[in-house]
Amino acid sequence: MKIAIVGAIDTPITKDSTAGTEVWTYNLAEKLIELGHSVTLFANGGSVFSGKLVNIVEEQELVNGDSTKKISPAKFSMYSVKEMVEVVKKQADFDVIHISVYSFHYLLPLVDLIEKPIVMTIHGTSFQDSEIGQVFKLYPKVNYVFIAKQYEKKWPHPEKYQVIYNGIEVEKFDFSDKKSDYFFWMSRISPEKGVDDAIDFAKKTGEKLIIAGPIRDQGYFDKTVKSYLSEKIKYVGELDFAAKNKYYKNARAFLMPIKWEEPFGMVVVEALACGTPVIAYNRGAMPELIDNGVNGFLVDDVVGMIEAEKQLAKIDSQSCKKSAENFSLKRMVGQYVKYYDEIIIA
């Protein structure tokens, strides 16, 4: 099967990607190639994988010309449209086109120019819940994929869709039932991810906290993270696979105090694969990943995190790893290949 994957343009897609959507896209592409499929990735020019790359834009071309080096929204929208135009021009080369970007609203208007079957994984959206039904009606030819059942419950159903949970290569993560004395938080550093509550937890309990991830908002980082760094609260930057694996497996628990409806949460499954329990806010897809009291705890606020910390000894590391195995990459890719076959034949 000849598959086109439309990926992120603002961040390179590699084995060491730190953003969840880019990690997911890389893993999907590599697994499809392993299964014998031909994969072409439309993405940021710094992307590296085993298939063919169509370079849409180099990262430095997207930033503003000032000292902030922030990605220009105007340039991002322009190159997003350019990416889809390239797909339209090359569509005859593929059996199926798979869109895997968060900002899919830039791409949707061009799907009507594509004759080949289109799959789109919804990793998240800038649309309001009240608007999404209109989106589905405007673009009914797309075969949508929800990455958690929460979408199926709260959104109008598009004409064509499936629920396929995200997956990871569980076997690549090192398991350990011997934990160190720190808690771990890792994500992009922006308000909705709740690093401020993780820091508040550390301050109130006196526990050590390791913070990792790309800084998406420098002002927010300076105010919320940098001013609280100390011997017990440390920021270790963006991590490659080996480094994040080390921090996952040795942490007493992974903290997920999200302040939005998290679409899935790959970091949760990665932590569980290492035998590390997760303490998360009861929002988004967290109830679908965390079995309260078995592989972690679902709480509502910092007070709840503090109470959960007192009960961590009840969690068995093997139970954590076993729960991660329900979200394997092999299972996920198998379901996508089956979906590709179905829509190509239809």
pLDDT digits (tens, 9 = 90+) for 113-156: 999 999 999 998 888 888 999 999 999 999 999 999 998 888 99
How far is Cα 172 from Cα 44, in angstroms, rounded to an integer?
Answer: 26
Pair of tokens at residue 43: 């993405």
Pair of tokens at residue 268: 């949760």
Q: Where are the beta strands (DSSP E) in the chain?
A: 2-6, 38-44, 52-57, 96-99, 118-122, 143-146, 161-163, 182-186, 208-212, 233-235, 253-256, 278-281, 296-299
Q: Is the pLDDT of residue 187 over 60?
A: yes
Pair of tokens at residue 196: 């401020």
Query: What does the pLDDT read at residue 66?
Result: 63
Q: Using DSSP, how many helices (H) and how many strands (E) does the chain show?
A: 12, 13
In this prediction, residues 25-33 reach a mean pLDDT of 97
Query: What does the pLDDT read at residue 281?
Result: 98
Tell me what the pLDDT averaged over the chain comes to.
Answer: 94
Least confident of 65-74, 178-187, 218-227, 293-302: 65-74
Q: Is the pLDDT of residue 161 over 70?
A: yes
How far is Cα 158 from Cα 142, in angstroms, rounded to an integer?
Answer: 9
Write the CATH number for 70: 3.40.50.2000
Are residue 147 and residue 202 in the same domain, yes or no?
Answer: no
289 confidence band (pLDDT: 50, 70, 90): very high
Give, in degrees to the nearest 5, the angle at Cα 228 between 223 and 234. Answer: 115
- Parent domain of 39: 2-167+328-345
In sequence order, which residues have a C-beta less than 8 Å from that of residue 262 and are 6 or more positions away?
256, 283, 284, 285, 286
Q: Which phi and psi (to 5°) does residue 289 adopt? A: -105, -30
Are residue 185 and residue 313 in the same domain, yes or no?
Answer: yes
Query: What does the pLDDT read at residue 65?
Result: 67
Pair of tokens at residue 117: 């079957």
Q: Is the pLDDT of residue 169 over 70?
A: yes
Check if the beta carbon of residue 211 is closer than 8 Å to that of residue 195.
Answer: yes
* Radius of gyration of the chain, Cα coordinates, nearest whole angstrom: 20
Q: Is the pLDDT of residue 204 over 80?
A: yes
How far is Cα 90 from Cα 196, in angstroms, rounded to an integer?
Answer: 45
Check if the beta carbon of residue 44 is closer than 8 Å to that of residue 11.
Answer: yes
Q: Is the pLDDT of residue 233 over 80?
A: yes
Are residue 141 and residue 272 in the same domain, yes or no?
Answer: no
In this prediction, residues 187-197 reach a mean pLDDT of 94
Check if the beta carbon of residue 150 is closer than 8 Å to that of residue 128.
Answer: no
Are residue 116 and residue 193 in the same domain, yes or no?
Answer: no
Are residue 185 and residue 322 in the same domain, yes or no?
Answer: yes
Q: How many CA atoms lie within 13 A of 101 on its CB side?
A: 26
Are residue 255 and residue 130 in the same domain, yes or no?
Answer: no
In this prediction, residues 161-179 reach a mean pLDDT of 95
Are residue 228 and residue 277 in the same domain, yes or no?
Answer: yes
Check if the beta carbon of residue 154 is closer than 8 Å to that of residue 129.
Answer: yes
Query: What does the pLDDT read at residue 52?
Result: 97
Number of domains making up the chain: 2
DSSP state of 180: -
Q: Is the pLDDT of residue 67 over 60?
A: no
20 confidence band (pLDDT: 50, 70, 90): confident
Q: Is the pLDDT of residue 68 over 70?
A: no
Q: Is the pLDDT of residue 195 over 90?
A: yes
43 confidence band (pLDDT: 50, 70, 90): very high
Are residue 209 and residue 99 in the same domain, yes or no?
Answer: no
In this prediction, residues 252-261 reach a mean pLDDT of 96
Query: What does the pLDDT read at residue 48?
Result: 95
Q: Is the pLDDT of residue 219 over 90?
A: no
Are residue 146 and residue 243 in the same domain, yes or no?
Answer: no
